[in-house]
Structure 1
Amino acid sequence: MAKSVSRVLRRKIILIRLYIVLLSLILVLALLALISQAALAKTYVVTDGDRVVTYTTFTEDPQEVLEQLGLSLNQNDTYTTQAVEGAAAITVRRAQKITVHYHGQTTLVTSFGETAGELLSRLGLEVTGEDVVSHGLEEATCDGMELSVDRPEILRQVYTAAIPHAVSRCNDPTLPTGTEVVLTAGSDGEMRCAAQITYLGGRETGRQILSETVTRQPVTEIIAVGTGSAQTQSDKPLIADGRIILPTGEVLTYTRKDTVRATAYTHTDRGCNTVTATGTRVHRGTVAVDPRFIPYGTRMFIVSSDGSYVYGIAAAEDCGGDIKGDRVDLYLPTHAQCTAFGRRPCTVYFLG
């Protein structure tokens, strides 16, 4: 019985030892596999612009490394490889579209991050001291850059320029308050200029005036600003026995009187302007006459024959194609005033 128990115990001990040996063998093999894998793995330092990644893998194909890192290459993109201490370096070179303008010629080229000077040199485009470059030659290229190399062109040109006219306003008590009448139409003057103009890439970048000669002086625009009030019945003069007593108390004398057919005109009517036939400026009191009937320079006092309208003191200073015989045309500042006046008989008192 004792011998039987002893044999069973020895068998168990032998099995346990076998298990231990087998387990040790498995551990040794696993350790050897890990050491082998570590020896076969490779480390890469991948640079893509500002992004730098250190990556360990078992592949030796740089293209696969980039794919594992999710770095896709677009058309014309490339990469370079280089051995560094303890690793391999992969540098992605992204294609950049650069527009080069060189002395009026435009070319679309591809760059991979070189400097502007290196790009121009690679393209065989010489830059001299007379050229103006849009970017520094040491500046790195970037996608979408427009690099221009132009040589200034200096030309002498002669041209005309406008001289703006001034505007002058003067108060006129004969016009109602709030009324403005252009007495003299303004016009710009003109000067002849000579200039040295610098062009760069077809665009003007500088202008030096060499001379300026006035060929036509500007004409100042003169505007009458009404400050007076409308006439009332109390403003009407007293006329009798060769005398005219104005509301102001001033006394005028007249030598004779006559009845005329009167109309009104203004300087904006067709064929009219602000200068009369005698060279004076039109104003309230300017009357167009037939100089054969009423000589130029004749001073008059004019009222409507029914006494409802007082034109006042006037002078024969203008004429017109339709003004014949006993017909007169009274100047009023606005077209509306002329329309309101219409056509009516008036009495002309010839002042002494």
Structure 2
Amino acid sequence: MVWGKHIVIQADNRKYPVMQFGGSVGDALNKAKVTLRGADIVYPPLDTPVVNEQEIIVKRVVQEGIYSDQLIEFKLERKTDRKLIPGQQQVVQYGKCGVSRSHYLATYQDGQEVKREEVGREIIREPQPMIVAMGPAVTVSRSQVRTTLPESMEGQVEKVITAGSTAYTHTGYRTATGVTPYKGVVSVDPRVIPLGTKLFVENYGPAVAMDTGGDIKGNRIDVFFETQQEAISWGRRTVKVHIME
């Protein structure tokens, strides 16, 4: 007498019981009307003879193309403009980050991602550099630093505020506007002084509002210096901030 073999097929989050009299794993799948597609995986292999109390597992395999975008940081470019006074800086062009796109072939088994392979990469948008024009460099002593607004800039002043000020130097991070800080960058509260606003800070000189800080609230600014010693020397002081048109 030939006894039937009890087989259970697991596929599509279901169990299919099958009574099979001999044959292969492939025959059992056909009897249960479980259809294989593309790269589906079957264990044991299709040509394996069935045995009693056997469990056959079918993993559905799907592949699809996906992509991921990454930002490309923009560069800071400085150029000398002799139309500007020494020490004055002016943003000629604001920087914009670029975008690169990586394409992947993702493989899923029963809905779970098991593999991701990069198959290509492209530039969606080239970064736009930030260009800052700078007045010609001069060497001056601290006693020669201009403390008041030059007459040539008086007609450009929109308003003047009194602000508490502190100073900072390099931290290893970019500013809130994405640029590497340099002398002339000032951290502000954007609710008081919008980012990108040109300024003249008493005892500091021409500046641009290009950074923010957690402690910079209301009428308060943080001016940037290239060295820690300069920042320490500045300390904490009250200054007049000329907001330019």
- Shorter-chain TM-score category? 0.3 to 0.5
Q: TM-score scaled to structure 1, two decimals?
A: 0.31
Q: TM-score scaled to structure 2, two decimals?
A: 0.39
Structure (1 or 2) with the larger CA radius of gyration: 1
Normalized per residue, the structure richer in helix is: 1
